[in-house]
A and B are shown apart, each in its own frame.
Chain A
Amino acid sequence: MLLVCFVVKHFYKTDTMAQAAQKLPETFKEPAVSEKLAGEFGLKPDEYKHILNILKREPTYTELGIFSVMWSEHCSYKSSRHWLAKLPTKAPWVIQGPGEGAGVIDIGDGQAAVFKMESHNHPSYIEPYQGAATGVGGILRDVFTMGARPIANINALRFGDPSHPKTRQLIAGVVKGIGDYGNAVGVPTVGGETNFHAAYNGNILVNAMTVGVADTDKIFYSRGASVGQPVVYVGSKTGRDGIHGATMSSAEFTEGDEDQRPTVQVGDPFTEKLLLEACLELMKTDCIVSLQDMGAAGLTSSSVEIAAKGEIGLVMDLDKVPMRESGMVPYEIMLSESQERMLVILKPGKEAEAFKIFDKWDLDYATIGHTVERRYLTLNMYGRTWCDIPVPPLVDESPKYVRPTAAQPKPATLNPQHTALPAGGLVEALKKIIACPDVASKKWIYEQYDPIVRGETRYGPAQADAAVVRLDGKQKALVITSDCTPRYVQANPREGAKQAVAESWRNITATGGKPLAITNNLNFGNPEKPEIMGQFAESIEGMREACLALDYPVVSGNVSLYNETNGKAILPTPVIGGVGLIDDARKTVGLAYKEGDTLLLIGGATTHLGQSLFAREIHGTEAGDVPPVDLKHEKQTGDAVRTLIEAGLVSACHDISDGGVLTAIAEMALAANIGAKLDGPEIAAFWFGEDQGRYVVATSTPEKITAPHITLGKVGGTALMGVEIKTLRDLHEGWLPNYMAGKN
């Protein structure tokens, strides 16, 4: 039936978009408002009292719903705002820092990169396919709302232990959801990361990032609306899906919360594609004042944001909202998180021109209200007023907490016995590490994503340390990566967060790119617990240090708290999405070294194995402190490596991270399908230590490399350390498909 309606809609669309007047069901009565109900909506007693003070009366049910989502952790950042203010957000190339839909940086030639990362953790755990799909949809809209054409998607995924009974099904659903959405919209998914840890058993992380490109003089903001302008709704019809989604994302899970499935939205990538093209076409005209996508908290947050930033009010006639279901009431319309919808403030008199474009793309639209001087959000429907609340206090007086913090306990010291090589020596350790879930090839995942659509991808998944995507019609390219090593952050939040920023910077550097700015996605547990808030605060401090030292500001971000199930928190996971630039895509280098190359280690040797994959996979311990990040060393080494790449002296480069030098070389060997002969001490720390600020560089002209280095060996043959590449490949690429097939 649905399909039939769909076909009819697209071929026999009527001229008018007006819908038949809806009638309020006679039996409908808004539930009575009380402090208890406010509590069920996630509002604390003090917060409810403050609402009463603002309004000088009891809110209506609709108004309470609006306050509760606007003041949810998800929308108000009430626990994190205090700390986020510490992050460095400025640089000469930053056009727009945090506070808009996405961050904007200048990339020269009158163009800007527009990007952000956002989580969809709770929905993806409840309903992995739709949760992940709508996560991609939401972040795409954040970017194209600002006038940018999305050119790349990246995702950072964290799943529970592979042995947990839900993990397999969650991977399958999330990956299919991301793929089906991004592939259909036609934005390449060029990279990402996937980790496993028992701490995510009841709370997976799905963080999606979109990077878009816009002209610097054609960037659109949610600010700028003024009095007397039409408020236009465009996109999918509003249904009852996703009501109170923002509130759900601001609470812990308990067992049985799978029943919250109705709060998960359903995605439609086809409508997203139409909306994307229609918006970009409309942006070429002179019709738009401002626009905002209806993401979390839907029509509520988008309308309130436009009103707050424009310092105006909105009067909306909700009868005119295109609706998917009959008998909907204002509470449902305002809190629905139906996907693929946009709120646009048009210049008066430009309606016809805009509507012609919406008609071309077969989108639903309606003028649902207008802007007014009185700074209130006024909602009318069925001939009466359901909501009339002042906008400034709704936004400015949202709660803000400086929650107590507690120091993280120091991790146990690494037992020296746990630095010993296993019986089979280096080779045995390598075989185990390249086949362990965190390091094993993610081909099973990324072959379900289209990383090449648009025809500009130089390096996609697993080809280089970061994805390299050319700008249309140019050789210039953006370099994109996402990074976090949660076990480091757990052991030492400050150093771990510093490491995440440094690794992002390093990955861009390893391709030859110049790192410019980051977005962050801060996934943590319940902020009301001092130890969690302590992790958060320390992480911010670490990030701040690294951003300042590396000249790598934060331009956008997202905070996801309450990632706990039955009181058990995830590993603290502040994911860094980095963007850099290279002036010529032909100069970038990937992982695949060439026959005859010499392999050099730049950045020094190591003796440290604390928190290493070696210690975990070979000796089963998560002990020891993290490898510290010396930011001065990081910058010096990175700048030196980038200079070598720019000079054309490097044929391949790989940063050293999980699994150390030998794992890095094995990944290069697999990318090239060529072996290598290596020299070095038979010491675990040398080959598997994860000290920071280091690179493996392959060069055909080692005599020209003046940067301090250690020579590791020479490329050639079909084996690495005596193990055939084919054997390594079977181990590396075999784990995930076998696991998904239920074979291990």
Chain B
Amino acid sequence: MKSVVVVFPGSNREKDMADAIERTSGMRPTLLWHKDTEIGKPDLIVLPGGFSYGDYLRCGAIAAHSPVMKEVIRLAKGGTPLLAVCNGFQMLVETRLVPGALLRNTSLKFICKSVQLRLDGTSSTFTSKMKKGDVITVPVAHGEGNYVVDADTLKALNDNDQVAFRYLENINGATDNIAGVYNETKTILGMMPHPEDATDETLGNASASPFFEGIASVLR
């Protein structure tokens, strides 16, 4: 699997992501600096977590207009699988590749802790080694993870099985406990929690390894 993790100024989970992909697929992703607009033809593009541009305007808003994003959007619209986690998810909603917006947590505080996620939307590139209803324990680390959509969009997301993950306990105020969503064709997944930080038995949690193994087995 040829994968690319795009690094923006202020990204800080590219290492976690690259380690997780390498650990589960055996192949280390390329880290691509956001000013390099030549992506090539990867099997998977990842937008990692962090605080791109310091999150100073609106989380992910500036990165969404970074030079590399034109090509990312073009490839993703053409069907190249795109995984966007945390700050990556915030960029994703800014690009409108998935619907919705991410507001401040209702507690108004940054939250970092392990949470339980239930897989709801299956049959995607990302979930071949998981079953509907599987519960994984994965850390969250965000201040703006409160996913919001209007009622019509929510209905559409549910009707099309586009809600990938839900929190068992609503930690941030997200509509309908939504932790991660797909685009209509399920080739793009945006999620707030960090599965990349739950792939190492030595650190006490490999709950999300099947998630990455599933991606690797499809895109191999």
Contacts and interface: CB of A to CB of B under 8 A. Distances in A.
B196 interface: yes
Nearest to A458: B203
A504 to B, nearest CB: 24
B213 interface: no
A186 B12 contact: yes
A541 interface: no
Interface string A159-192: 0000000000000000010011001111000000
Contact of A360 (B35, B56, B57): B35
Interface string A446-469: 011111111111100000000000
A455 B24 CA distance: 14
Interface stretch (A2-10, A29-37, A206-214, A610-618): A2-10
Interface string A493-526: 0000000000000000000000000000000000
B26 interface: no
A10 B9 CA distance: 10
A270 B10 contact: yes
B55 interface: yes
Q: Chain B interface: which size bin?
A: 20 to 34
A455 B14 CA distance: 10
A7 B62 contact: yes
Interface in B199-220: 200, 202-204
Contacts of B10: 184, 270, 273-274
Nearest to A175: B109
Given A3-B57, A448-B110, A450-B141, A10 B200 contact: no
A608 interface: no
B112 A186 contact: no
Contacts of A453: 12-13, 16, 49, 141, 197
Interface in B167-220: 194, 196-197, 200, 202-204
A447 B113 contact: yes
Given A447-B111, A470-B202, A268 B54 contact: yes
B110 A183 contact: yes
A362 interface: yes
B15 interface: yes
A274 B53 CA distance: 10
A458 B197 CA distance: 11
A180 B110 contact: yes
A374 interface: no
A361 B12 contact: no
B94 interface: no
Contact of A184 (B54, B65, B111, B113): B54
Nearest to B17: A455
A269 B35 CA distance: 21
A183 B141 contact: yes
Given A183-B51, A270-B9, A470 B56 contact: no
A711 B148 CA distance: 55
Contact of B139 (A11, A452, A585): A452
Given A453-B12, A455-B13, 5 more contacts: A179-B110, A270-B10, A274-B10, A449-B112, A472-B15
25 contacts: A3-B56, A7-B62, A10-B9, A179-B110, A180-B110, A183-B110, A183-B112, A184-B10, A186-B13, A186-B50, A268-B54, A269-B54, A449-B112, A450-B110, A451-B112, A452-B141, A453-B13, A453-B49, A453-B141, A453-B197, A454-B15, A455-B19, A455-B20, A455-B196, A472-B15
Q: What are the nearest 3 A-B pairs in CB distance?
A: A186-B12, A270-B54, A455-B16
Interface of A: 3, 6-7, 10-11, 176, 179-180, 183-186, 268-271, 273-274, 360-362, 447-458, 470, 472, 475, 585-586
